[in-house]
Structure 1
Amino acid sequence: MNTTIAEKRVLREPELLELGTRAFEGLGLAHEDARDVARILVTADLFGLSTHGLSRIESYGERLGVGGIKARPRITREQRAPAIVGIDGDNGVGPLVGMRALEAAMDTARQTGVGVAFARGSNHFGPVSPYSLIAAEAGFASIIGSNATTTIAPWGGSDARLGNSPVGFGVPNPGGNPFLLDMAISVAARAKIRNALKRGDAIPDTWATDKAGRATTDPAAALEGFLLPIGGHKGYGLALLVDLFAGLLSGAAYLTHVKSWVDAPDEPQNLGHFFILIDTRHLGSTPWLAQRMNDFAAILHDSPPAQASRPVLVPGEIELSNLARHRREGLALDPAVLALLEQHAAKL
């Protein structure tokens, strides 16, 4: 049952999946495709990643409406080598192309031990961690990444030439929580800066620069400027590496060849993704992996915390804790997001 708390409706996971599926069907997607898109976005919301969850119905829906994304793409798979597969997304919704690439990489890894999928002709595919979780629950370790619209200046440069390309890592744990690391290359995502602007809040001066390259606490100036990479020149190098794998090697657009979905919403972005999966069953038995993963986490957890109220965590534990809690208690969606989902679902 839906309940209401502080004017927000609390929905259970099956309800979120059903509403998300119907909303994307209302935008023209086939039922199974809409279900796959909703699965990624709902998982993001359950993880607590609301900026990359069902709220994406706004930007995805706008581009579907003006023909910038195909609602009914013909996604194709081409086996390039025993362990390498290419995916042409035909300008489909990003999470749909991402799911097809993940499935291809898993199918290949089951046969060869390692599966690598390169996807092109895609769009924003949500956060990495939902894909990493799906892979981990199926027994696969993963390295997953995507390129993105240019928002970061080259190290020492003065204009945007590379994207805030996300990359993530996952390692399954049959006896507990998998390891999940999902990170963008910038200190903070543009979505966080946009949210600060909506709230009227200042941002830390380590997040971004203005268009002249000066550190700023003004979110409006930051959105006109550039994101700052983590670790300075090291983050710059990592961002380039992700784009080389996701964009250049996949055959997708890369660096400034990527179209901005804000400036040109009716044009294909041709984003690229990569999925590198390892079938851990070829490395050892399930009990072997569970024992080692639990010991790995215990070594970290046993470190005395510098602050008693902040124990040492393993990457992914916060998201997985949020996932478990939201599955028990439900999730309160932003009323504006809920209204937009219901508006599109009503088109059926």
Structure 2
Amino acid sequence: MAEAGEIIVNMAELDRYVVSCMMASGATEDSARVLSDLLVTADYRGHYTHGLCRIDVYTSDVKCGVTCGGGKDPTVVKETVATALIDGNNLLGPVVGKFAMDVAIQKAKTAGVGIVTVRGSNHYGIAGWYSLRATKQGLLGMSMTNSDKVMIPTRSKTRSLGTNPLSMTAPGKDGDSFELDMACTTVAWGKVEIKKMKGETLPTGWALDKGGKETCDTSAVAGLLPLGGLEQNSGYKGYGLAMMVEILTSVLSGAEMCSFVRKWKTYEKPANLGHCFLAIDPGAFAEGFTDRMQNLMDHNRNLEPVEGEEEVLVAGDPERQHMALCDKLGGIPYHPNQIEFLDDIAKSLGVDPLEHVTKSC
């Protein structure tokens, strides 16, 4: 997360920047706007690892022709009243994911549940962006993807599964909601990149070098530890969770799997990533779901915090706090090195750099 009070950029300006960069790279305006919504939302929610810091990956993929920048839609290959298999036709991941999540939502409204698997897609950003599409319509939402950033599983120094993020969101009352968005590794790969961008060392428990040994040196990182860390700290549970996501995304859909997925910033073949989306109508089950969901969240928030902490949070609260900060600042705060990175990309594409202000707060 960037430090507040450094460089503040208005969200409309961020949208202008992303759309301009993507169109300069060869994407259609419609596809560029979908991607912009996801990237700006990620930074607004405090998920800087999946926001504008990823713009170089998307622009390069479209420029090199390894990802389709638009002009066509995903294809429904097979479906039942409650399920669908979708081919993303190698479009930008957020374009594919938005289409697929909306199919799952419509099926849930008809059948009580919608389950959609996807193949032929690309990196799709924060998983929560999709789940929240369902929860904004009163549904439970789930989203997951296999990924092209590998981790090193417990007892192995070879590349295997990706960070394999997943999300689940559920509606409470008066706009409140549970909003889980997490990777199956200790941290997302982007957190290592942001540490490197800021010239900082890594905390212990994040990463491993090419020999499978733990490292705090950003230049030596070859893989990420599974959730839980090393084996003695139950890292095998994170490894198993990542396998579960892999089954529901790549194995079920016929997409490329684990370390066979094309790695970022290589352009020899399409990524063929797999996703899985679920939407569930709570009305198809016991009455009073939102009341019980709100009681569950409030019960945990009202627990006595440990010494040194002011409050107990539930998933989604840190994001709401960051969004409130952005609203107060009048934009999203960034580290100067992040802005320099984005300005360099704009220059390389012949796009106007970001307009921003410096504030202290």
Question: Is the contact between residue 175 and residue 290 of structure 1 (CA under 8 Å) also seen in structure 2?
Answer: no
- Shift of the 138–16 alpha-carbon distance from structure 1 to 2, 3 Å rule, reads farther
| Superposed CA offset, 1:159-207 (max 9, x none) | 0121111011111124242101111111122222222223332212311
Aligned residues: 336
Partner of 1:175: 174
**Partner Cα separation in structure 2 for residue 153 and residue 342 of structure 1:** 34
How far did residue 79 of structure 1 move? Answer: 4.1
Say which of 242, 256, 259 aligns to 2:262: 259
Q: Secondary structure at the match of 2:86?
A: strand
Say which of 60, 63, 70 aligns to 2:61: 63
Asked whether 1:228 is paired with 2:225, we answer yes
Letter in 1 for 2:242: A
- Shift of the 88–327 alpha-carbon distance from structure 1 to 2, 3 Å rule, reads farther
- Shift of the 90–342 alpha-carbon distance from structure 1 to 2, 3 Å rule, reads same
**Partner Cα separation in structure 2 for residue 51 and residue 234 of structure 1:** 23
Letter in 2 for 1:142: G
Using structure 1 for the length normalisation, give the TM-score: 0.89
How far did residue 9 of structure 1 move? Answer: 4.6
Q: Secondary structure at the match of 1:57?
A: helix
Mean Cα displacement is larger for which, 138-147 or 200-209?
A: 200-209
How far did residue 89 of structure 1 move? Answer: 0.9
Partner of 1:43: 41
Partner of 1:246: 249
Partner of 1:282: 284
The correspondence of residues 1-348 of structure 1 with structure 2, limited to 5 A, is 8-11=7-10, 13-72=11-70, 73-149=72-148, 151-222=150-221, 225-231=222-228, 232-262=235-265, 264-283=266-285, 288-328=288-328, 329-333=330-334, 334-336=338-340, 338-339=342-343, 344=349, 346=351
Letter in 2 for 1:253: E
Large movers: runs of 4+ above 6 Å = none
How far did residue 284 of structure 1 move? Answer: 6.0
- Shift of the 101–314 alpha-carbon distance from structure 1 to 2, 3 Å rule, reads same
| Superposed CA offset, 1:41-95 (max 9, x none) | 1110100111211221111111111111111254212342111112211111111
Mean Cα displacement is larger for which, 188-197 or 13-22?
A: 13-22
In structure 1, list runs of 5 or more residues that go unmatched: none
**Partner Cα separation in structure 1 for residue 345 and residue 210 of structure 2:** 35
CA RMSD across the alignment: 2.2
Q: Secondary structure at the match of 1:78?
A: strand
- Shift of the 77–327 alpha-carbon distance from structure 1 to 2, 3 Å rule, reads farther
Q: Secondary structure at the match of 1:162?
A: coil
Question: Is the contact between residue 101 and residue 275 of structure 1 (CA under 8 Å) also seen in structure 2?
Answer: yes
Mean Cα displacement is larger for which, 203-212 or 192-201?
A: 192-201
Q: Percent same amino acid among aligned pairs? A: 32
Question: Is the contact between residue 176 and residue 290 of structure 1 (CA under 8 Å) also seen in structure 2?
Answer: no
How far did residue 342 of structure 1 move? Answer: 5.1
- Shift of the 318–119 alpha-carbon distance from structure 1 to 2, 3 Å rule, reads same
Question: Is the contact between residue 186 and residue 229 of structure 1 (CA under 8 Å) also seen in structure 2?
Answer: yes
Q: Secondary structure at the match of 1:37?
A: helix
Question: Is the contact between residue 57 and residue 340 of structure 1 (CA under 8 Å) also seen in structure 2?
Answer: no
Letter in 2 for 1:307: E
How far did residue 253 of structure 1 move? Answer: 0.4
Question: Is the contact between residue 120 and residue 271 of structure 2 (CA under 8 Å) also seen in structure 1?
Answer: yes
How far did residue 267 of structure 1 move? Answer: 2.1
